Chains A and B, each alone.
Chain A
Amino acid sequence: MRVQRRRGDIVVGLDAVERDLLASLATQYDEVLHDDEGDDAVHDRLFPVAYRDDPDADDEFRRYTYEGLVERKSANAGRIAASIAAAGDGRILLDPDAVGAWLPALTDLRLVIAERLGIRHDDDTVPDDQLGQVYHWLAELQARLVDAVDR
């Protein structure tokens, strides 16, 4: 994994395995977003409560925001897939707009995986299995992207 800044853009170098992994995760994330019958705990992480002590206000907030959030999160997922597809075997070029789509999607991906791994508190440990490694890998990618754009 290599992440570099080139003028205003970010260049991401991933090997073929990493590219396929990320494209697959982006597709799965998009499926999760549209899966109304899916895991409630995952759903609550992607669309958390906005009013802690007022269920009616929370319902109303959800009614007004839910579809738009799904749409924009889904667009971010699509942006990851598109960036990877456009790069072919080469390095992935992200303009600031693309980085703005990648970062929230990587965050959501980590939220979904965290729920699958049972990571809910600061002192919960990440299991040393394949999904745990994917979780760490996504964190590394996200950290490097943030460092590159904030430099």
Chain B
Amino acid sequence: MVDVAQLVEHWLVVPVVAGSSPVIHPTMSLTQPDEALEERELFEPDRAWSTVVWNDPVNLMTYVTHVFRTYFGYPRREAERLMLLVHHEGRATVASGPREEMERHTEAMHEFGLWATVERI
């Protein structure tokens, strides 16, 4: 069992490691010209966006699966497949649809402590 005897330390509020570092960012994708964006929004309003969950070294595989099951309602096997995609490929598309809905999912993932982004399909 872990020895957690000294509780008085203020670990989180006072950094123990000096300096800050950038959060991991995936490879930036190329921005598309504005005209192209507008065109897509006009002609594919409902399926043009997706919610992508990214790998991080912190989250437990079982927890990620748990979130995919409880929040999105995926069956266990599908939730595990998506979790493994995140783990091995670094990312998985977990939903697609209208932009507002994808933003809601992204916000929910952030609430769960997972890193998600809104992506144009």
A39 touches B15 (CB 8 A): yes
B 1-27 binary contact with A (CB < 8 Å = 1; else 0): 111111101111101110011111110
B 79-115 binary contact with A (CB < 8 Å = 1; else 0): 0000000000000000000000001001100111111
CB nearest neighbor in B for A123? B57
Residues A109-127 near B (CB distance < 8 A): 109-122, 124
- How near does chain A come to B7, taking the closest CB pair, in angstroms? 5
A82 at interface (Cβ–Cβ under 8 A)?
A: no
B24 touches A108 (CB 8 A): no
For B16, list chain A residues within 8 Å (CB).
116, 131
A116 touches B17 (CB 8 A): yes
- How near does chain A come to B107, taking the closest CB pair, in angstroms? 5
B60 at interface (Cβ–Cβ under 8 A)?
A: yes
For A147, list chain B residues within 8 Å (CB).
62
A17 touches B4 (CB 8 A): yes
Name the one of A52, A142, A146 contacting B29, with C-beta atoms under 8 angstroms.
Answer: A52
A28 touches B4 (CB 8 A): no
B28 at interface (Cβ–Cβ under 8 A)?
A: yes
Which positions in A face B, CB cutoff 8 Å?
A: 1, 17-18, 20-21, 24-25, 28-29, 31-32, 35, 38-42, 44-54, 57, 61, 65, 68-69, 72-73, 103-104, 107-122, 124, 130-131, 133-134, 136-137, 139-140, 142-143, 146-147, 149-150
Which 7 residue pairs of A and B lie closest in terms of their CB atoms, listed nearest first?
A107-B113, A28-B12, A44-B23, A41-B20, A137-B2, A133-B2, A48-B115
Which positions in B face A, CB cutoff 8 Å?
A: 1-7, 9-13, 15-17, 20-26, 28-31, 55-60, 62-63, 65-66, 69, 103, 106-107, 110-119
